[in-house]
Amino acid sequence: MKLFEFEAKNIFQKYGIPTPKGKVVTTPKDAESAAKEIGKPVVLKSQILVAGRGKAGGIKPASNPEEAYQIASKMLGSLIKGLRVESLLVEEKLDIVDEYYASVTVDRSARSYVVLASTEGGVDIEEVAEKSPEKIVRLNVDPLYGFAEFHARKIVKKLGFGGKDLRTFSNIIYSLYKITMDYDAELVESNPLVKISDGSFVAADARIIINDDALFRHKEFSERAFLEYGEREAEARRHGLSYVDLTGNIGCLVNGAGLAMATMDLIKTFGGEPANFLDIGGGARAEIIKEGVKILLSKPDVKVVLVNILGGITRCDEVARGILEALRETGVKRPLIVRLVGTREEEGRKILEDAGINVFKDVEEAVREAVKTVRG
Amino acid sequence: MKLFEFEAKNIFQKYGIPTPKGKVVTTPKDAESAAKEIGKPVVLKSQILVAGRGKAGGIKPASNPEEAYQIASKMLGSLIKGLRVESLLVEEKLDIVDEYYASVTVDRSARSYVVLASTEGGVDIEEVAEKSPEKIVRLNVDPLYGFAEFHARKIVKKLGFGGKDLRTFSNIIYSLYKITMDYDAELVESNPLVKISDGSFVAADARIIINDDALFRHKEFSERAFLEYGEREAEARRHGLSYVDLTGNIGCLVNGAGLAMATMDLIKTFGGEPANFLDIGGGARAEIIKEGVKILLSKPDVKVVLVNILGGITRCDEVARGILEALRETGVKRPLIVRLVGTREEEGRKILEDAGINVFKDVEEAVREAVKTVRG
Amino acid sequence: MGIIVGKDTRVVVQGITGREGSFHTELMLKYGTKIVAGTSPAKGGTTIQGIPVYDTVEEAVQKEKANTSIIFVPAAFAKDAILEALDAGIKTIVVITEGIPVKDTIECIAKAKMENATIIGPNTPGIINPNEKVKVGIMPNHMFSLGIIGIASRSGTLTYEVAWEISKIGFGQSTCLGLGGDPVTGLNFVEVLEMFKDDKETRAVVLIGEIGGNAEELAAKYVEEVKYPKPVVAYVAGRTAPPGKRMGHAGAIIMGRVGTAQTKIEAFKAAGVSVAETPFDIAKILKEKLKG
Amino acid sequence: MGIIVGKDTRVVVQGITGREGSFHTELMLKYGTKIVAGTSPAKGGTTIQGIPVYDTVEEAVQKEKANTSIIFVPAAFAKDAILEALDAGIKTIVVITEGIPVKDTIECIAKAKMENATIIGPNTPGIINPNEKVKVGIMPNHMFSLGIIGIASRSGTLTYEVAWEISKIGFGQSTCLGLGGDPVTGLNFVEVLEMFKDDKETRAVVLIGEIGGNAEELAAKYVEEVKYPKPVVAYVAGRTAPPGKRMGHAGAIIMGRVGTAQTKIEAFKAAGVSVAETPFDIAKILKEKLKG
């Protein structure tokens, strides 16, 4: 789960990492008074859970409170990268001397957390990583040993810092690690972490992504789950379904993420375009299948619904019942192509065929049929 | 630092360990209404930071609110083991079926934490430990591996539990361990941990001792430090001095705990009785020495003050100045015997001799003189 | 033969009394797996499907000589179950449970390494060896058959599709295992390739990858570096899938420009690995490679 | 010879820029100790008493070949300093700092064991080898002299008293070290006795114990069990001291009825260890034991 920038910054502060003076607002009036309170030029940053908002116009400077009001009026309520801007973070404009980078994330192949830092912070950090990897210092954390303050100093020392900066920067890195552990984060990042004119360090940006699987240990966030998702995706997640919107017109419902992706790839191979990714997981009951089909039917783009089920834990009769219930409840009429094999295959097939729905045994055949259908 | 029983029980509750229904009160009236609220026979437990209060009359049952009022009137304000009873914990009287024991503490020789549990809880647990050690299950925690829930189950399994009790008891033990870690405790103990008539487990008593050296990480307790100590001892600790009251009449001020104890032993060997233990630590300045001497002079029993300093980090001139200042400030006149050697010995000696105080070089001589002095 | 599990495998089912645990115990027994014990703290002393249930894994090891564990306990308790198995001396642990916090998984894998134990999963369908009739997992029994193809997959149902195709053409499987669908898993493609390399029964290896991570790229590099002696056929799902949740800049930094279906397919091709266009092409390619 | 420190000892002072650190660096240098570096994060590049100061222990090891560390940093940072020294490959760490949380100490000692390193302390006056002119500690230089007595002590100033007496009678010390005044320390009497056993220069061993814990009882048991080949003289402080803070019932359970001066003295006597009535008797007993 992605945290909003202001949430991440609150956590940073709690762990002793300085962040810019700022305030979250939801109205232009409040943006104006926040700017007044800060008493110097500010930056208005849209609080949306998507990367790259800067380039998409989600971050704008304002040199005085009036301007802050004007800009906030435009930004609030607007759509950035498909997400509505509900709140802004009004922050003092920093007098930046230098931009650095620091983060902690999960290194899948090393099966450990990894701490990263660089003197080359800012939006081009990925290019730096590619072109001058030596400018990024990385340290994989031994899971059984942990990460101590001295590890942070080793990193910062390797970046070439000494004196007070060594201490300050390494304290920040150590705090990022502590946040990662305490919040079960998959990512804690500050980019840029900046040095300002008085020589101190400030986390100009802050990102925290919490491991979804660990949310049960962090009840404080349970209320605000799914905010990072579009409407349909959030609705799917509320039912425990994994869903992603795409731009095609063949709606897919599959059991298993790998099979779902393979199905989408097949659609493409045969000349069609998938409208979505939807994995119903293992062992889904009719009720859940129903919700999945309903979500697909709610999307106007979807010209045909393709269901691909290889029943293992999932029972084909449950799938069949779920499909029929969804059709009944919504009353929406769209072509439906079902491939059904595995556990309780015969029962499932009968239920559907009794309702006049043709059932395929072979995936490729089913996908071809779906592509043929949308082509008219 | 010892926590009060009610503080320990609050922490137990936070970690999911059931404790008896109860309330802390400071007046007989409140004791009465607490008993009324609880609605059944209660136990009044004096909240003092000393062990063995039960046998000393610090725990009394009351069968109704009126009786609770009566008993509270007598207990509140009374002295138990030298400590004034300022508050009582009024608790429901439990319908106890069985008494168990569980604790986590530091095993010095193993250099690790150790988890202990027994089916033979209650005041006689130490006797059990001596006579039937097999009835106490112990598990030393590998500091690098930690203690997992399954470790707790292993312990409880060894005690012979199965079924629901296995789960409940091991959850409690796991919580005791978590408390130990989270609070930097030296001891977390429930004795007895009881099974009541409905089959559930309740921590009838709860003890937590926090490692003094770790208090800087637990600021929530800093305000209430020293409550477990007598007046003089608390005053000494406020100045960073290590002090313990004893019953003799030779006041001692020594640098180093080992030397302090050896000095006391010598006093005894030569026929005297030390009035206290006082270690000024290493490198104490005149100001601290002064406070130490003042504490000794404040004790009417002290007939003579014996200062024994072997200056290493501690400078003899600082010691001499501290002594003189204490004498000046208090105006108290008591015989003073000083042994002073080591760093800045000459300077220190001169300061004292100029003030008419005799200075010894040899410990044994000084101690003999002190014993002779009190004997008149 | 085959890898990791075989006729000496004696399984303890951790979480045997749960819905999934008891259901799959029955299916594993049917398949021929030697399930010797189950555990469920507080339910020791009972039996399920005729299998004795113990409170602790330690007892299952001591009394029933279990050497392999399969874990069905809920995610919140999975770490404890894995550590308990390790502590009891279990050397192969198949973690079916999905949704385990990545921090827990990382800790468990590190501790398993310390104990020289293997964790398969988490979030895996398990491992199956049709030749020796051992299944420690949840895959549908009838889709697998005696054979010579080693399969390692990051997927569940997709693996069954592929295995089934391979069964239908008569090659069958020497061992098929799911690495697990989580970002961090106990085994990766390289480690499994190493094992299949030395397994006499395995004549060719199928890798079923998907977008995300760089496990496929590393596998390709490995195949090239060791001049892998057996045919390797790969399929990568997700050419049309949206890129996964982006892990800030950090994700890109630690992995470089990898993780898409395209980078994976290219890496495989560059390493001389045959890449199947669709999952159903895998069987065809195998036929080609193993003919004669 | 002597134990733990000797002429090859090259010391890095962690926390060299602090009051205590710089003061004792001067005294150690005067004594003859090879101090090769100091550390103080953020003060790297400067010098103190002519000694180069680095930001990290790693640099002190790489550039100055330090192999021993003495730690003066405040208690809150001590754990990190110890772990840093271990990470840098330091094998002997003398922790002068007092007031370190016991949880930190326990973790550090376990990690030191993993690295085959020795921690002396915490809360120790350190270690001194007069024959080779090495002091890694804070004891007053002039009270020690070339010699043959090994001293291990749980105390600070009391040790100096005893060492001085032994210096005055001309025996001197082979090595004298403080185990540290904290409940949990890196070395105990038994481990030091083992080292003194094999040290040719050490002709007799003095143990200075005190109430609390069971280190003395274990030492007595050890002396008896191995039929310790050198005279051992013990003194136990605290016959008249109040019993220490009682660790609930748990303390009594894990230790049994030990920990008082009486139990310690009795244990020593039963093991054939000479017990001195006063610290000043130690020298007299040594004279007796080593005459002829």
DSSP letters of C94-127? EE------HHHHHHHHHHHHHTT-EEE-SS--EE
pLDDT in tens, D149-170: 999 999 999 999 999 999 999 9
Is D249 close to B191, i.e. CB distance below 8 A? yes
CATH 2.102.10.10 holds for A21-93: no
Distance of residue A141 Cα from the nearest chain D Cα, in angstroms: 13
Is A268 close to C239, i.e. CB distance below 8 A? yes
pLDDT given for residue D283 in this prediction: 95
Q: B149: which chain C residues are within 8 Å (Cβ-Cβ)?
A: 77, 80
CA–CA dist C204, C182 (Å, integer): 26
Residue from A263, A356, A372 nearest A307 by CA: A263
> Out of D42, D45, D83, whose CB is closest to A167?
D42
Helices B231-238 and B286-297, packing angle to 10 deg: 170
Q: D80: which chain A residues are within 8 Å (Cβ-Cβ)?
A: 148-150
Dihedral angle, C-alpha B210, B216, B218, B220, nearest 10 °? 110
pLDDT in tens, D51-76: 999 999 999 999 999 999 999 999 99
Q: C118: which chain A residues are within 8 Å (Cβ-Cβ)?
A: none
Q: Which residue of C has its CA nearest to A266?
A: C278
Q: Which residues of A have a catalytic role annotated?
A: 101, 189
> Out of D153, D208, D278, whose CB is closest to B266?
D278
CA–CA dist D96, D28 (Å, integer): 13
Is D42 close to A145, i.e. CB distance below 8 A? no
Strands B304-311 and B336-342: parallel
User: C157 in contact with A at a CB cutoff of 8 Å?
Assistant: yes
| pLDDT exceeds cutoff 90 at B310 | yes
| Subunits close to B (at least 3 CB pairs below 8 A) | C, D
Is C80 close to B149, i.e. CB distance below 8 A? yes
Q: Which residues of C have a catalytic role annotated?
A: 249
Is A148 close to D81, i.e. CB distance below 8 A? no
Catalytic residue (one of B100, B101, B113, B243): B101
> Out of A114, A186, A312, whose CB is closest to C157?
A312
Mutate which: A100, A119, A134, A186, vs C, most C CBs within 10 A = A186
Residue from A302, A360, A309 nearest A335 by CA: A302
CATH homologous superfamily for the domain B230-375? Succinyl-CoA synthetase domains (3.40.50.261)
User: C114 in contact with A at a CB cutoff of 8 Å?
Assistant: yes
> Out of A145, A148, A153, whose CB is closest to D56?
A153
Report percent pLDDT > 70 for chain B: 100
| pLDDT exceeds cutoff 80 at A224 | no
Give the pair of three-digit tokens for residue D42. Answer: 């953020």
Give the pair of three-digit tokens for residue A39. Answer: 């008493």
Report percent pLDDT > 90 for chain A: 80
Is C155 close to A255, i.e. CB distance below 8 A? no
Question: How many residues comprise chain B?
Answer: 376
pLDDT given for residue C246 in this prediction: 58
User: D191 in contact with A at a CB cutoff of 8 Å?
Assistant: no
Mutate which: D119, D249, D280, vs B, most B CBs within 10 A = D249
**Which of residues B308 and A229 earns the better pLDDT score?**
B308
User: D107 in contact with A at a CB cutoff of 8 Å?
Assistant: no
Residue from C47, C119, C101, C39 nearest C73 by CA: C39
- The answer to whether C49 and C1 have CB atoms below 8 angstroms apart is no
CATH 3.90.1150.10 holds for A1-20+95-228: no
> Out of C106, C237, C253, whose CB is closest to A129?
C253
- The answer to whether B44 and B90 have CB atoms below 8 angstroms apart is yes
User: D58 in contact with A at a CB cutoff of 8 Å?
Assistant: yes
- The answer to whether C105 and C180 have CB atoms below 8 angstroms apart is no
pLDDT in tens, C60-98: 999 999 999 999 999 999 999 999 999 999 999 999 999
User: What's the pLDDT band for C243 if we cut at 50, 70, 90?
Assistant: low
> Out of A145, A149, A166, whose CB is closest to D42?
A166
pLDDT in tens, A114-159: 999 999 998 788 888 888 889 999 999 999 999 999 999 999 999 9
pLDDT given for residue D132 in this prediction: 97
**C and D adjacent (3 or more CB pairs under 8 angstroms):** no
Instruction: Tell me the pLDDT of chain D averaged across its residues.
Output: 94
| pLDDT exceeds cutoff 90 at B360 | yes
Helices B286-297 and B316-330, packing angle to 10 deg: 40
Helix (H) or strand (E) holding A272: none
Helix ranges (DSSP H) in D152-260 = 157-168, 189-197, 215-225, 248-255
pLDDT in tens, C40-64: 988 999 999 999 999 999 999 999 9
Is C246 close to A51, i.e. CB distance below 8 A? yes
Q: C80: which chain B residues are within 8 Å (Cβ-Cβ)?
A: 148-150
User: What's the pLDDT band for C289 if we cut at 50, 70, 90?
Assistant: very high
Residue from B372, B371, B361 nearest B264 by CA: B371
Distance of residue D192 Cα from the nearest chain B Cα, in angstroms: 14
Looking at CATH, the fold of the domain delimited by C139-289 is given as Rossmann fold (3.40.50)
Q: How many CB pairs under 8 A join B and C?
A: 39
Q: C184: which chain A residues are within 8 Å (Cβ-Cβ)?
A: 106, 108, 111
> Out of C44, C55, C80, whose CB is closest to B148?
C80
- The answer to whether A48 and A85 have CB atoms below 8 angstroms apart is yes
Residue from C144, C200, C201 nearest C177 by CA: C144
Is C55 close to B170, i.e. CB distance below 8 A? no
Q: Which residue of A has its CA nearest to C280?
A: A364
CA–CA dist B32, A194 (Å, integer): 61
Q: Name C237's bridge partners.
A: C210
Helix ranges (DSSP H) in chain B = 5-14, 28-38, 65-75, 125-131, 149-158, 163-182, 231-238, 257-269, 286-297, 316-330, 345-354, 363-375
User: D226 in contact with B at a CB cutoff of 8 Å?
Assistant: no
Domain ranges for chain C, please list them.
11-120, 139-289
**B and D adjacent (3 or more CB pairs under 8 angstroms):** yes
pLDDT in tens, D85-106: 999 999 999 999 999 999 999 9
Distance of residue B70 Cα from the nearest chain D Cα, in angstroms: 31
pLDDT in tens, C264-279: 999 999 999 999 999 9
Q: Which residues of D have a catalytic role annotated?
A: 249
Query: For tokens 């690495």, what's the residue?
Result: C179
pLDDT given for residue D161 in this prediction: 95
Q: Which CATH number fits the domain C11-120, given the four candidates 3.40.50.720, 3.30.390.50, 3.30.465.10, 3.10.28.10? A: 3.40.50.720
pLDDT given for residue D168 in this prediction: 95
Neighbours of B244 (CB within 10 A): 20
User: What's the pLDDT band for D248 if we cut at 50, 70, 90?
Assistant: low
Q: How many CB pairs under 8 A join A and C?
A: 188
Mutate which: B149, B150, B158, vs C, most C CBs within 10 A = B150
Distance of residue C182 Cα from the nearest chain B Cα, in angstroms: 23
DSSP readout, B297-363? HT-TT--EEEEEEEESSS-HHHHHHHHHHHHHHH-----EEEEEEETTHHHHHHHHHHTT--EES-H
Q: D245: which chain B residues are within 8 Å (Cβ-Cβ)?
A: 209
| pLDDT exceeds cutoff 60 at B311 | yes
Mutate which: A140, A142, A144, A150, vs D, most D CBs within 10 A = A150
CA–CA dist D175, D1 (Å, integer): 9
Distances in Å between the alpha carbon of C160 and those of A249, A340, C27, C155?
Answer: 27, 14, 16, 9
Report percent pLDDT > 70 for chain C: 96
Is D139 close to B187, i.e. CB distance below 8 A? no
Q: B108: which chain D residues are within 8 Å (Cβ-Cβ)?
A: 183-184, 213-215
Report percent pLDDT > 70 for chain A: 100
- The answer to whether C248 and A5 have CB atoms below 8 angstroms apart is no
| pLDDT exceeds cutoff 70 at B251 | yes
Burial C197-227 (b: 16+ CB within 10 A, else e): bebebbbbbbbbbbbbbbbbbbbbebbeeee
| pLDDT exceeds cutoff 70 at D243 | no
| pLDDT exceeds cutoff 60 at C245 | no
> Out of C42, C44, C87, whose CB is closest to B150?
C87
Domain ranges for chain B, please list them.
1-20+95-228, 21-93, 230-375
Residue D264 CB burial class (10 angstroms; 0-12, 13-18, ≥19)? buried
